[in-house]
Structures are given as C-alpha cells and as structure tokens.
Homo-oligomer: A and B are copies of this chain.
Amino acid sequence: MKIAVFGTGMVGKTIADKIHSLGEPVTMGTRSMEKTMAADEGDHDGNPPFSAWIAEREGIRLATYLDAAAVADLVFLALPGEVVLEVLKQIGPAALAGKIIIDLTNPLDFSNGMPPTLSIVNDDSLGERVQAALPESRVVKTLNSVTASLMVSPGALADGDHSMFMAGNDTGAKAEVEKVLRGWFGWKDIIDLGDIGQARGMEMYLPLWLRLWGAAGNANFNIKIVR
C-alpha cells in the first residue's frame, strides 16, 4: 500500500513520520513545493522549518498534491477543515478516483474566537462533503477525534486502552483502513459507526473534545467506549 499525506503541518508531519518509521515510503503533498521548502519558520512548538525536517528523513518525499496522488493507493487528508474542500476541488476528483481517502479533518470555525465552533452540523458533515467532492474515491472518516501524536501512537496513552471510530460507504476501504490503524498505528478498539453520514456524530464530538482539552490542560487524552 503506497501512502500519500496531504498537508505539511504538524498533523501531516506526525503521520508521515510514523509511516516512515515503519520503513514504508510516503509522499507528502503540498500546494507549492517551492513555498513549503522556502518557509523559514518552524511551528509553535519550536520545531524546525519543513525543509530541515524533511532533510533528515530519507524515505519521505515532497511532491505537489497531484504528483503525490498519482503514486498513492491511500491518501491522508491532513489539512485544516477550512481548506480541504478547496484543495480537493483544485486537484479534481479524477486524480483521486478509486483511491482510499482517510478524512481526518474537522469543520472548525475559528472566526468567532476560542473555542472554535463547527461550520457544519446536524444534517451534513465535512466527511460527507469530502465524499461528495470525490465521488469515485473511497472516503473513510477516522482519526479526527484525537491529537496528532495519539493518531499514530495510541499505545502511548494507557497502553492503547481507548477507542477510535470510523465511518464510510465502502466496506473494503474500511477494512484496509482498519489494517493501517490496527497494524501500523496500534489501535485496538475501532468502532465502525456505519456509512459516511455517521461522520456527523464524529465531528460533533469536537466541541466536547475542545472543552476536555481546556479542563485537562493538554491534549493527551481520548475517550474509551465502555460497554
């Protein structure tokens, strides 16, 4: 399975780094390779600029979104919720036809201050809009409910004794994604909520997540479904 990660921010780097650490090749997609490599500022946590980060990781390649899509069977959408639909429109659905798309985005709206609200609720979801934008792709919503480090290393918290959700229309794609979550990342409890419409529940959990973050003072937590 060949992996692409769209997005070169903290989430994209965390996912690419994990896959790279497993010895799997990974291509990171970006809008402009020049701009991404020229950015000379690191992130909020004092990490180095992207060019320095990727220079230390031989198995990670940077490409345009289109070139990254071309070589991938599975694409992680590690993009801010505000831009993901625009990026997909720019790429066009043909480039991603038939591929498995892991949508880990959230429709967060920061325009009214913190905590952010949701720009899509109730009878629609960003997961559904991603699927609608890519009608020939096999979209699976997952990983949107935890901080980046836990996405790829759930075992770092309580030996992985907590839960992850998934939703998508394509049963085969969900089985492949489950292999990645379980085999590569170490998720033990993966709950299939059903079709992509169930992404509504997964995204509407975020306002509670944001408040738990506020109460805890850090993002190193997750929920376990006790049943």
Q: Which residues of A line the B interface, CB within 8 A? A: 112, 117-118, 121-123, 157-158, 161-162, 165, 191-194, 198, 200-202, 204-212, 214-216, 220-227
Which residues does chain B contribute within 8 Å of A117, judged by CB atoms?
121-123
Identical subunits present: 2
Which residues does chain B contribute within 8 Å of A165, judged by CB atoms?
208
User: Are B207 and A207 within 8 A (Cβ)?
Assistant: no
A227 to chain B, nearest CB (A): 4
Known contacts A122-B121, A201-B210: A193-B215 contact under CB 8 Å? yes
Which residues does chain B contribute within 8 Å of A221, judged by CB atoms?
225-227
A213 to chain B, nearest CB (A): 10
Which residues does chain B contribute within 8 Å of A222, judged by CB atoms?
225-226
Which residues does chain B contribute within 8 Å of A204, judged by CB atoms?
118, 121, 204-208
Dominant secondary structure of chain A at its interface with chain B = mixed
CA distance A207 to B122 in the complex (A): 8
CA distance A191 to B48 in the complex (A): 36
CA distance A226 to B206 in the complex (A): 16
22 inter-chain pairs at a CB distance below 8 angstroms, sorted by A residue, are A112-B123, A117-B123, A161-B226, A191-B215, A193-B212, A193-B214, A194-B214, A194-B215, A201-B207, A201-B208, A202-B208, A204-B204, A204-B205, A204-B206, A205-B207, A216-B227, A221-B226, A221-B227, A222-B226, A223-B224, A223-B226, A224-B224
